[in-house]
Amino acid sequence: MNIHEEPFGEFEGSPVELYTLDNGHGVVVKITTYGGTVTSITTPDKHGNGADIVCGFETLASYFTDQYKGNSPYFGCLVGRYAARIKDGKFTVDGNQHQVATNDGPNHLHGGIIGYDKRIWSVESTAEEDDHVALTLTLDSPDGEESFPGHVEVTVEYKLTADNQLRINYKATTDKTTPLSLTNHTYFNLNGFTDTVLDHVLQLSADRFLVCDETNVPVGEEMKVAGSVYDFNSPKRIGDAFGKLEMGFEHYYAFTKSPDALETVARVSEPKTGRTLEVLTSEPGTLLYTGRYTSDDLKRESGAQFGQFRGFCLETSKYPNGPNIDNAPRSVLSPGTQYDETTVYKFGVEAPIT
């Protein structure tokens, strides 16, 4: 188990670092302080051959190309102050209406023009233990940043364990009531980008999803998934749904578990490599996104081809537009309370390594 730091470039005159977490069992995770971004995750297949299974780049400069900025796919970053969309960029807390940036058509998306993904995070600590290595990042988000109320202090711990789990714990406090929904926006492809993700098999423990309006934001309506193309309660090939959903998934699923219990909510497997991914979370739901908007012009410097349907996200978070939806679980943080959520990505294989 070890963690290694190296320079990753410079942003607006400040140094950016890259941390490599290696658990000694074939899983290697790279994280940069720019956006708290996961740039790389290498895992072994059923034959013990390692490959990078996430969208990301080897240099900081690649996150600032015209192609990447124009497409804005948010590869691997920490998203905040509020993940996903807020209808018309408006919400009311403590009796006061607030207007935030409308950076996705008429709606607010992923924290605005300069969200947490475009900030340099501070390193609070690193740790090397017998059973894990960890990187703890912090961010100071001042009152009024991107027009959100409240001074928010955020701490995110990335912990890679000896049993191939990447555990992400999010903590935050505020001095004013504010919407808060943090997530990691990593795109996975368990075949290592030799093909699309359509042959991946997904099981997702969710009985309903939030229905979006004509501007692609949920406003409160829900739809049961039982017996429909949206139903992944039993394992199903992702591509089987594409006959009816030509552009795939960008749907927020509400889990059947208790809204705040840390439980297994999803399992993904890839038949050719045998790689598996299990997801546990304390969050009430997840956005399942299969990369409909990802540009085919994007690729890793080593040649791995990204693009449409070549990566999927399971963005565990609060409800999109949660501040404007009645009874949306924990979408607003109040002074005197602590935001404390955990999501776990557990990597494995379906057959023993030989």
Token couple for 41: 């995750």
pLDDT of residue 259: 86
Query: What distance in Å separates the CA atoms of residue 335 and residue 327, rounded to the nearest whole number?
Result: 19
Token couple for 167: 């555990």
pLDDT of residue 352: 58
Please give the full DSSP string across 236-287, using - where no structure is assigned: EEGGGGGGT-TT--EEEEEESS-TT--EEEEEEE-TTT-EEEEEEESSSEEE
Token couple for 332: 């607003």
Query: What distance in Å separates the CA atoms of residue 156 and residue 95, rounded to the nearest whole number?
Result: 30
Token couple for 241: 């749904």
Amino acid at 180: L
Whether cis (ω within 30° of 0) applies to the bond prior to 275 is no
CA distances from 229 to 232, 292, 328 (A): 8, 17, 25
Q: What is the CATH number of domain 2-349?
A: 2.70.98.10
Residue pLDDT, tens place only, 285-312: 999 999 999 999 999 999 999 999 999 9
End-to-end CA distance of the chain: 23
Query: What distance in Å separates the CA atoms of residue 118 and residue 110, rounded to the nearest whole number?
Result: 11
CA distances from 120 to 9, 100, 225 (A): 12, 22, 40
Neighbouring residues of 267: CB distance < 8 A, sequence distance ≥ 6: 202, 203, 235, 276, 277, 278, 279
Helix or strand (DSSP H, E) at 66: helix 66-71
Return the residue matching tokens 């890793």. 300
What is the three-class DSSP state of 170?
Answer: strand
| Residue-range domain boundaries for the chain | 2-349
pLDDT of residue 260: 86
* pLDDT < 50 regions, the chain: 354
Of 108, 185, 200, 251, which is the active-site residue? 185
DSSP state of 112: S
Return the residue matching tokens 């193309």. 229
**Is 315 annotated as catalytic?**
yes
Sign, CA dihedral 273-278-283-288, equals positive
Neighbouring residues of 162: CB distance < 8 A, sequence distance ≥ 6: 1, 23, 24, 25, 130, 131, 132
Of 145, 146, 283, 315, which is the active-site residue? 315
Residue 259: name the closest of 197, 207, 214 by CA: 207
Contact 71, 297 (CB under 8 A): yes
What is the three-class DSSP state of 215?
Answer: coil
